[in-house]
């Protein structure tokens, strides 16, 4: 391994000396790795106005494991029925609308526990079951729950108000804090911290088995995996794991119907190439900047190839080199918000999600949720972020074609103004993906995605594959375009988010 790494570093030095004006040795020292990684993750957390007290929830003494609420076997959940004071009208047609929070003791770990929320549909228990995965890697699902597509929004005075466009209006939805150490999920051993999609997807699959065992009424419901950002890695791996479990008859059969990736990072080899093209097309950088930054692309592409699909120590090298392309762009754009290039960041603040930390740090709230008093809410975990660096540059698209051939639906959507996981890079990897319907998808005409008589997006579709460029949205589509995202979910899960036939009208 050492000799391979030396040869590869030598190759990078050679490429860099031909293409980059900087001194390559300064880019690849071990101290630079640590500083750059910490700087990037710290900056991204601070720009959301999040200030977690801990890097990760690891309780060495683990006094919480003796808490009566958490005495669970390896295959069971501990769950609490919740009763939130929520302002406004839910619009629910269900008489007994159930909300839950709980912990699952993860199998094949030393002492890891996964925290989750489950909200029954406001419309019908027969609606699909949807699981939402927040990215990061290492950010808690509560960011989406309270600011994007959860049942309620969080006001400035920490009150809850019903979200008119929560995804629970058309689905039974689960939000999970994962990987271990994220949000309210915790362990007593750092050996339980995950480093790759094998560990992540197995944990999620085991949780799902326990969830359906505890909620057998939902076993036959359609099941969909959704999420955004770094979940572009989690979702394909998790979907493949569920599909494999079904084929191997490992446990409860999960009625997997589809996976939806929102502004995701799925195929870095293609998506990092799109950064400069997207930035130039949107007048974020100049042509000379474009030409200069593009000199770093060949070495980045080679590094990603060396990383491959399985993940090795070389993958951290690929991360550091390729991330420099993104860093070079944002160094030129002053205070433009790279999650939404229409907006400016004020100082170091691009969004203010701090209220979620204030709410979830309250002892009364933790008690209501069944969270032990000595567990902190870790909004975004630096340690989980860094632990996944060998996974970052892996290509997770490789597992998707087999799912498509099994008629499992794939929806990829992206807000048009997001830079960090931009729509252009996402459309390119979807086009480049080799499967039986690739030619037809690439040649398919795009059509308008229409909501309430207005164009909300541009849609491409063939067979089980659909791509939507969501208009007037940034990285967090359900936050920026809540009505359109809800309608998109509803049409997709009911098989109606497809290219209209000749003479038909676009989805309403």
**343 — phi, psi (to 5°)?**
-110, 155
| Options 328, 418, 462, 485, the catalytic residue | 418
On the 0-12 / 13-18 / 19+ scale of CB atoms within 10 A, 448 is middle
Q: Is residue 425 helix, strand or coil?
A: helix
C-alpha dist (Å) from residue 144 to 57, 150, 353, 447: 20, 7, 10, 29
Query: Hey, which bits of 409-464 come out as E strands?
Result: 409-415, 447-451, 454-462
Q: Are 176 and 116 in contact (CB under 8 A)?
A: yes
Report CA Rg, the chain: 22
- Tokens 């762009």, residue located: 329
Residues in contact with 7: Cβ distance below 8 Å, sequence separation at least 6, in sequence order: none
Stated as kind and residue range, the H or E segment containing 208 is: helix 197-214
Catalytic residue among 188, 475, 480, 485, which?
A: 475
Query: By the 8 A CB rule, do 417 and 474 touch?
Result: yes
Which is catalytic among the residues 121, 229, 379, 387? 229
Alpha-carbon distances, residue 163 vs 80, 261, 281, 357, 483 (angstroms): 22, 22, 35, 19, 10
The verdict on whether 376 is a catalytic residue reads no
State the alpha helices, DSSP H only, in 67-141: none
Which has the closest alpha carbon to 185: 57, 304, 351, 82?
57
- How far are the Cα atoms of 24, 326, 391 from residue 27, in angstroms, in the given order? 5, 15, 20
Number of H helices, E strands in the chain: 20, 14
Q: In what order do the strands lie in the sheet with 77-82?
A: 77-82, 99-105, 113-119, 172-177, 129-133, 223-228, 256-262, 409-415, 465-470, 454-462, 447-451
Quick one: how far is CA 487 from the chain centroid?
A: 20
Largest CA distance in the chain: 68
Active site members: 229, 418, 475
């Amino acid at each position: 391994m050492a000799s391979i790494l030396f040869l590869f570093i030598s190759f990078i030095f050679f490429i860099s000396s031909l293409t980059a004006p900087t001194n390559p040795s300064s880019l690849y020292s071990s101290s630079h790795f640590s500083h750059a990684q910490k700087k990037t993750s710290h900056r991204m957390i601070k720009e959301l106005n999040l200030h977690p007290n801990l890097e990760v929830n690891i309780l060495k003494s683990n006094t919480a494991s003796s808490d009566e609420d958490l005495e669970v076997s390896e295959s069971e959940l501990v769950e609490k029925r919740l009763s939130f004071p929520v302002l406004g009208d839910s619009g629910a047609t269900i008489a007994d609308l159930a909300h839950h929070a709980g912990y699952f003791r993860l199998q094949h770990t030393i002492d890891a526990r996964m925290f989750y929320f489950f909200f029954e549909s406001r419309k019908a228990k027969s609606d699909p079951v949807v699981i939402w995965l927040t990215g990061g890697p290492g950010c808690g699902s509560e960011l989406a729950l309270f600011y994007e597509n959860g049942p309620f929004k969080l006001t400035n005075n920490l009150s809850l108000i019903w979200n008119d466009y929560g995804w629970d209006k058309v689905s039974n939805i689960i939000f999970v804090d994962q990987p271990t150490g994220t949000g309210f999920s915790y362990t007593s051993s750092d050996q339980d911290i995950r480093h790759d999609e094998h560990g992540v997807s197995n944990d999620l699959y085991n949780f799902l088995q326990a969830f359906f065992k505890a909620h057998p009424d939902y076993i036959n419901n359609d099941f969909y995996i959704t999420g955004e950002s770094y979940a572009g890695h989690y979702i394909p791996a998790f979907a493949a794991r569920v599909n494999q479990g079904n084929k191997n008859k490992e446990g409860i059969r999960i009625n997997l119907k589809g996976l939806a990736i929102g502004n995701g990072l799925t195929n870095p080899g293609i998506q990092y190439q799109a950064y400069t093209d997207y930035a130039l097309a949107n007048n974020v950088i100049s042509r000379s900047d474009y030409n200069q930054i593009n000199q770093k692309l060949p070495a980045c592409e080679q590094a990603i190839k060396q990383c491959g699909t399985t993940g090795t120590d070389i993958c951290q090298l690929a991360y550091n080199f390729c991330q420099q392309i993104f860093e070079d762009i944002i160094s030129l754009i002053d205070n433009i918000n790279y999650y939404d290039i229409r907006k400016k960041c004020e100082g170091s603040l691009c969004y203010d999600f701090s209220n979620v930390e204030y709410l979830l740090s309250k002892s009364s709230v933790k008690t209501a949720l069944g969270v032990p008093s000595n567990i902190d809410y870790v909004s975004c975990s630096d340690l989980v972020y860094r632990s996944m660096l060998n996974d970052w540059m892996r290509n997770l698209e490789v597992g998707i074609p087999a799912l498509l051939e099994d008629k499992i639906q794939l929806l990829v959507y992206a807000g048009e103004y997001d830079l960090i996981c931009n729509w252009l890079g996402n459309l390119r990897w979807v086009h480049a993906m080799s499967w039986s319907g690739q030619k037809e998808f690439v040649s398919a005409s795009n059509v308008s995605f229409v909501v309430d008589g207005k164009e909300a997006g541009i849609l491409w579709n063939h067979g089980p594959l659909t791509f939507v460029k969501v208009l007037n949205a940034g990285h967090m589509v359900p936050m920026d375009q809540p009505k359109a995202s809800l309608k998109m979910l509803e049409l997709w899960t009911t098989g109606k988010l497809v290219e209209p036939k000749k003479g038909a009208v676009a989805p309403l």
